[in-house]
Structure 1
Amino acid sequence: MTFAVEAKRQSGEAIVDRVDRPSEHDRFYTQLGRTGLRISRLALGTVNFGGRVEEAEAHRLMDHALTRGINFLDTANMYGWRVYKGYTEEVIGRWLAASPSRRDEVVLATKVGNEMGPGPNDQGLSARHIIAACEASLRRLGTDWIDLYQMHRVDHTSSWDEVWQAMEQLVGQGKIRYVGSSNFAGWNLSAAQESARSRHFLGLASEQCGYNLVMRFPELEVLPAAQAYGIAVLVWSPLHGGLLGGAIRKIAEGTAVKSAQGRAAAALGDRREAIAEYERYCHELGREPAQVGLSWVLSRPGVTGAVIGPRTEEHVDGAITALETPLSEAEIAGLDALFPPVGRGGPAPQAWMS
């Protein structure tokens, strides 16, 4: 139990604390924060659709994931930018249209906020852009509603009254079911929720943040804030762009794709010794590094699920194995020794207090 949750309970304030590690008998599905919506703990991320994964393969990946029980599909209106922005939503829309029953089977999430055009109002979280972007996403996806509409980033130029007015309108029209955030700080979550509470609106159902063994900053404030408000935490980049997926071995073998570029390549320069030790440790455990890294994320208190970005069906199956094969406490302790938490560990301010 977090300090914030305990403080609220002692004050008599009602709070739902459901964003904990799921029980042993219900490891695959969980609730989206304090809502009643059931989602798979693995979300199929679609950032690779378009440019890295061709449309036919993307359709096969979505088929395979759904067959394996993954009912949560995550995208964003800007995805597909290697072809053109909006392309990925169109790919998903054509997949949904090929079998009408699919729309009822999946929990569909997309995002708003990043730049979609050259105009001054083609980005951000103004009421105008939120509503216009939602309409555009609905057209590209070929659906009447979005289950989880996520703000892709904070926009400090738009007030929370404006943001929630737009989201309330979309909920009232039946175009979205829940609202989420992405890349928010802990104080952004608090500000958003207090504003929503004053309007008697549900507010945030989820926060999607980057979190993994080499990027543990969310433990300081984002995770505790989310737990205090009953907000689900969905982790993007659980392997830090492939860095924790056996990067050194793959580079040596000449099979590296994501792990040889982007944030993975940048971090490898500073973390090579620790990553080498990590890969040796995974070998000793008899498990693939990608499975170990993902299992660690899914074991963290406050983490609801993880967004995976597979390029093959084997990647999907490996992620499911990671979910179904949790790490032992001793194995988690071994990983903590390789990648220590920030400061003294745990939430702020205790993490750095003497």
Structure 2
Amino acid sequence: MTNPAVPAPPPQSATAPSGRMLNEDEQALRAAFVALRSEISKAVVGQDSAVTGLIISLIAGGHTLLEGVPGVAKTLLVRTLATALDLKMTRIQFTPDLMPADVTGSLVWDSGKSAFEFRRGPVFTNLLLADEINRTPPKTQSSLLEAMEEHQVSVDGQSHRLDDPFMVIATQNPVEYEGTYPLPEAQLDRFLMKITLDLPPRDAEIAVVSKHQHGFNPLALTQAGITAVAGPEEIRTAREHAQRIDVQPAIIEYIVDLVRATRNSPSVRLGVSPRGATALLQASKVWAFLQGRGFVTPDDVKGVAVPVLAHRIGMKAEADLEGLTAQAIVEGILSQVPVPR
């Protein structure tokens, strides 16, 4: 697996050898999210696995960290996703001088009421694009922890609920580290997936340039024909259906064995936590749903294991010096841990 992202879903008519298949209502809902992929492809070319990963995270109720060099359509991908789902989107450019209140909001004196009033920050949205999140100090990074985990922010002892659905999509540049603050393990563990956007292959890059030659404007997505194919209600319903996907005890044991194996690797200083195991379970269930099945198979777990687990692994210094990556650790574990039959 060269790119830590999930593969593209199979056609809608995909079937499984045995087990419960989705009913008619579930298939209609699934079709909406298959159409979502097609809608996004009108603007974003050559990033199919990243699109799938974002859809899985959204249905699973998780958050996503996008990593890629400048110019591979990270921001365009998020903007197109918001347009195709009729969701509110807010973008925050993370900088060294950004303060926590710039994200969550703050108390402002209302002279008319002679009282302090809470002014909501940009975190009160559906899709929050945290652009270059590793360029802001840890104090500001940590302002997102409560929002990501509990879907609320607390200011002056008062809790304020966030919108539903709510998803943080953070970006970072993998090649420019000067002036950055690496995300701590606690922050990384809040992301359901970390997805790498690679440079597109030649044919995809030709398609991108050709789109611009024919007048494509990434700042005018509705003019490019992007329309909403689903919305907040479909997302909430899909989450309910995904929760009902069957998972056999042997699959749960397989997930736990994979996670525990990361802790026993001699190259790892910090293995995947139980939160990572539950994240792998949720992502596997959504992946099964998108494939038209009502049950999880070992291949579902394998399909999402790298983007769900790799960013949660802390490598030993000597392993980094040898060029060993967390992705390679997960891939090795997938080849070694016995698969349930």
TM-score over 0.5 for the pair: no
Larger relative contact order, structure 1 or 2 (CA cutoff 8 Å, min sep 6): 2
> If the length of structure 1 is used for normalisation, what is the TM-score?
0.27
TM (norm. structure 2) is 0.28
